[in-house]
């Protein structure tokens, strides 16, 4: 069973320790301003934000509407999607637990994806369970559950999300590979840009399109990819994104296309923590012009909290 190198464990421990100290000593606003300056070489204008990144940082700092936490909760959002769009396909959920040792590893299929519910980027693809020891998965789950994701980018929406790990279906395209990830940027319920990610765990590339599948020059946070034909489910994706994002000033709605079906991915409140390395940089201004911040506007979300089924 492969072990995590001690040097990497030591590095991760030091990063976590620094973040925990900063969480005690540095307020959210100066902390986020520091992250922005480290990324872009200048301080953000948080009093008069114009770019998309600046506006996302302001959302992190000021927007306290409950739907943000619902969208950030990878388990609860499944029931929100099911209630709002019962016809939309969800990846199969094989099991979840708030304790690493309680993961039903023996009952999981040969291939699956292990994820954490209370953060972003905590993903372990398992194409062949027989090649991964149970102890390795439990150790990884324990590490995630012990981590406070809100200290990474001070993303408020994750603060009250239950800490849990879960295993869900490993999606495959017709060739047996990982399908492209279609990320629909919605502003006030309308799709304005579609980001297509391919080979995210290898040579990660992106291409950008408008809703009519006309190319938009540039990328958000990866190498420029080659153009591709529009998915056969494009119209259904756009319709689903509009339905899920109705009344929301901004949310990114992610889908996959598998066997001619639209499969739900996730809802993202704060893409890349407001630190998107747009190329060209003018994309930051373009997306910023589409986002009208409304941190106190009431949002009518049709969702019954007691309905979470874990299915």
- 129-157: pLDDT as tens digits: 999 989 999 999 999 999 999 999 999 99
User: Taking 50 as the threshold, does the pLDDT of residue 1 lie above it?
Assistant: no
Write the CATH number of the domain with boundaries 65-89+177-292.
3.30.470
The predicted-structure confidence for 251-287, as pLDDT tens digits, reads as follows 999 999 999 999 999 999 999 999 999 999 999 999 9
Task: Write down the domain spans for the chain.
Answer: 65-89+177-292, 92-170
pLDDT at 4: 56
Q: What are the CA-CA distances from residue 3 to residues 114, 132, 136 (Å)? A: 17, 11, 8
Q: Are 127 and 178 in contact (CB under 8 A)?
A: no
Q: Are 249 and 188 in contact (CB under 8 A)?
A: yes
**What mean pLDDT comes out for the span 79-93?**
95
Q: State the average pLDDT for the chain.
A: 92
Orientation of helix 52-62 relative to helix 282-290, angle to 10°: 50
**What mean pLDDT comes out for the span 212-240?**
96
**What mean pLDDT comes out for the span 180-202?**
94
pLDDT range class, residue 8, cuts 50, 70, 90: confident
pLDDT at 288: 98
pLDDT at 20: 87
Give me the residue label for tokens 């489910």: 233
Q: Are 124 and 137 in contact (CB under 8 A)?
A: yes
Question: How far is Cα 36 from Cα 58, in angstroms, rounded to an integer?
Answer: 12
Question: How far is Cα 219 from Cα 309, in angstroms, rounded to an integer?
Answer: 38
The structure's pTM equals: 0.92
CB hemisphere CA count around 209 (13 angstroms): 20
- Can you give the length of the chain in residues? 311
């Amino acid at each position: 069973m492969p072990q995590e190198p001690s040097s990497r464990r030591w590095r991760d421990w030091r990063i976590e320790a620094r973040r925990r100290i900063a969480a005690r000593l540095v307020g959210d606003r100066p902390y986020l301003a520091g992250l922005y300056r480290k990324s872009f070489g200048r301080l953000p204008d948080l009093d008069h934000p114009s770019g998309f990144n600046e506006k996302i940082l302001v959302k992190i700092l000021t927007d306290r509407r409950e739907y943000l936490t619902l969208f950030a909760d990878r388990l609860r959002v499944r029931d929100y999607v099911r209630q709002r769009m019962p016809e939309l396909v969800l990846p199969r959920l094989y099991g979840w637990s708030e304790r690493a040792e309680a993961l039903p590893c023996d009952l999981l299929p040969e291939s699956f994806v292990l994820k954490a519910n209370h953060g972003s980027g905590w993903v372990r693809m398992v194409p062949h369970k027989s090649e991964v020891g149970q102890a390795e998965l439990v150790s990884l789950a324990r590490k995630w559950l012990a981590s406070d994701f809100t200290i990474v980018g001070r993303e408020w929406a994750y603060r009250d999300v239950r800490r849990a790990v879960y295993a869900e279906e490993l999606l495959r395209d017709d060739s047996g590979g990982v399908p492209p990830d279609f990320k629909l940027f919605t502003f006030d319920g309308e799709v304005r840009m579609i980001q297509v990610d391919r080979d995210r765990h290898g040579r990660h590339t992106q291409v950008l399109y408008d809703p009519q599948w006309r190319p938009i020059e540039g990328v958000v946070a990866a190498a420029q990819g080659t153009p591709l034909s529009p998915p056969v489910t494009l119209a259904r994706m756009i319709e689903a994104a509009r339905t899920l994002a109705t009344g929301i000033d901004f949310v990114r709605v992610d889908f996959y296309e598998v066997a001619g079906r639209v499969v739900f991915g996730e809802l993202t409140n704060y893409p890349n923590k407001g630190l998107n390395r747009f190329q060209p940089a003018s994309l930051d201004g373009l997306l910023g012009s589409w986002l009208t911040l409304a941190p106190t506007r009431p949002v009518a979300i049709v969702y019954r909290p007691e309905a979470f089924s874990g299915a």
